[in-house]
Amino acid sequence: MDDHRGVLVVGELGQSRLATVTRELLGAGRRLADELGEPLGLLLIGDAVSGCDTEASALGVDTLYVAEGPHLAAYNGDVYMEIAGTVAGETAAAVILMGHTTAGREMGPRLAARLGGSLFTDCVDLALDAARWLVATRPVYGGNAMAGFVSKTLPQIATVRPKAMPETAACTGKNMSTVAVSTDSTLSRIELSEVVVEEAAGPRIEDAGVVVAVGAGVRQEDFGLVCDLAQVLGGAVGGTRLPYEEGWIPASSQIGQTGKMITPDLYVAVGISGAPQHMAGCTGAKRIVAINNDPEAHIFKMADYGIVADYKEALPVLIEKIREMTGA
């Protein structure tokens, strides 16, 4: 191939550490870098990012690129793009990885347009073929099919679906070097005026072991029943797009392509038809249980266990039985 070399991860920050998706990307990035026999770089953009160096080093990063400044605290499409474009261009990375997140969804295509590379979005698997081209697997047709693409151009850019790849455990740590990136060019045509957080009380659906989710088949006045079930199971409440649009669950509780990708041990879908857009968010669940009164509902094909019943009849009994069993 030409003079492109190495893997560059464009990282994101969580609460005073690397975001979970970035840790997942570093796992995939390290694996690809090792196969290529080339270095792994990590670009972090933010207000105060140097605190993440120990973590980055432990996850096998060879070079950390730091773009730091108070004006970088919030993601700005134009400003972040300028920095990522410069670093990607200067390092001439062969593979550039980012999360399929708000930032990644914008920066991936824009970087590919600027750098002339190939682009694969919302990937769930990444590998190299015999000629060391990137092979990206991604769900298409709302998850009804999977497509495997082989890149024909460098650099090869992929946005990776959160929770699709395992977080790697920390290794002994590399001799990581740190490079400060100039952040002078901060010309932005996009101005941020407000961030509105809509968060549910109680456990977060992305962390909970049990998630009970509500769909269009449940009437709003019965929402309490679903919450009761979540409560006896010690779980969190989530839902599909409709309950979110109608305002009875907050944005942070929406599960699916637009909302969260979750991987609980037990996922209970109440009154959910199983539309691909929603199922994209919960296919990583260990066990899926469906309660729906339509025996033909697609959800039953996607579930481990199902009962065909009116939720208004089924839930009170289920809640009672679980209470008896667990003493909750």
Residues in region 269-288 near another protein by CB under 8 A: 276-277, 287-288
1, 73, 147, 180: residue in contact with another protein (rule CB under 8 A): 147
189 touching another protein, by CB under 8 A: yes
310 touching another protein, by CB under 8 A: yes
Distance CA 263, CA 36 (A): 31
88, 120, 239, 249: residue in contact with another protein (rule CB under 8 A): 120
303 touching another protein, by CB under 8 A: yes
In the complex, the smallest distance separating the C-beta of residue 305 from another protein, rounded to whole angstroms, is: 5
50, 102, 177, 185: residue in contact with another protein (rule CB under 8 A): 102
Give the H/E segment covering residue 224: helix 223-232
Q: Report the residue number, 169 or 201, with the smaller CB distance to another protein.
A: 201
DSSP 253: G
Residue partners of 245: CB distance under 8 A and separation at least 6: none
58, 92, 128, 135: residue in contact with another protein (rule CB under 8 A): 135
245 touching another protein, by CB under 8 A: yes
Piece in contact with another protein (CB under 8 A), picked from 28-36, 42-50, 169-177, 239-247: 239-247
Q: Which residues pair with 160 in a beta bridge?
A: 99, 123
For residues 190-209, which are near another protein according to CB under 8 A? 190-199
Q: Report the residue number, 197 or 201, with the smaller CB distance to another protein.
A: 197
11, 117, 217, 271: residue in contact with another protein (rule CB under 8 A): 117
User: Within a 13 Å sphere around the CA of 288, how many CA atoms are in the beta-carbon half?
Assistant: 22
240 touching another protein, by CB under 8 A: no
For residues 178 and 184, the answer to whether their CB atoms sit within 8 Å is no
Would you state the torsion angle of the CA atoms of residues 41, 100, 54, 179, taken in this order, to the nearest 10 degrees? Answer: 40
139, 238, 239, 243: residue in contact with another protein (rule CB under 8 A): 139
Piece in contact with another protein (CB under 8 A), picked from 10-18, 37-45, 136-144, 163-171: 136-144
Using CB under 8 A, count the residues that bind another protein: 88
Residue partners of 79: CB distance under 8 A and separation at least 6: 71, 72, 186, 187, 188
Neighbours of 277 (CB within 10 A): 14
142 touching another protein, by CB under 8 A: yes
For residues 68-97, which are near another protein according to CB under 8 A? 77-78
4, 5, 105, 174: residue in contact with another protein (rule CB under 8 A): 105
304 touching another protein, by CB under 8 A: yes
Three-state DSSP at 106 gives: helix
Distance CA 205, CA 211 (A): 6
Q: Which residues pair with 95 in a beta bridge?
A: 7, 156
List C-alpha distances in Å: 140 to 70, 120, 124, 164, 178. Answer: 39, 11, 11, 15, 38
For residues 214 and 249, the answer to whether their CB atoms sit within 8 Å is yes
Distance CA 247, CA 75 (A): 26
For residues 250-269, which are near another protein according to CB under 8 A? 250-252, 257-260, 265-266
In the complex, the smallest distance separating the C-beta of residue 113 from another protein, rounded to whole angstroms, is: 4
151 touching another protein, by CB under 8 A: yes
Distance CA 221, CA 83 (A): 49
Q: Report the residue number, 63 or 121, with the smaller CB distance to another protein.
A: 121
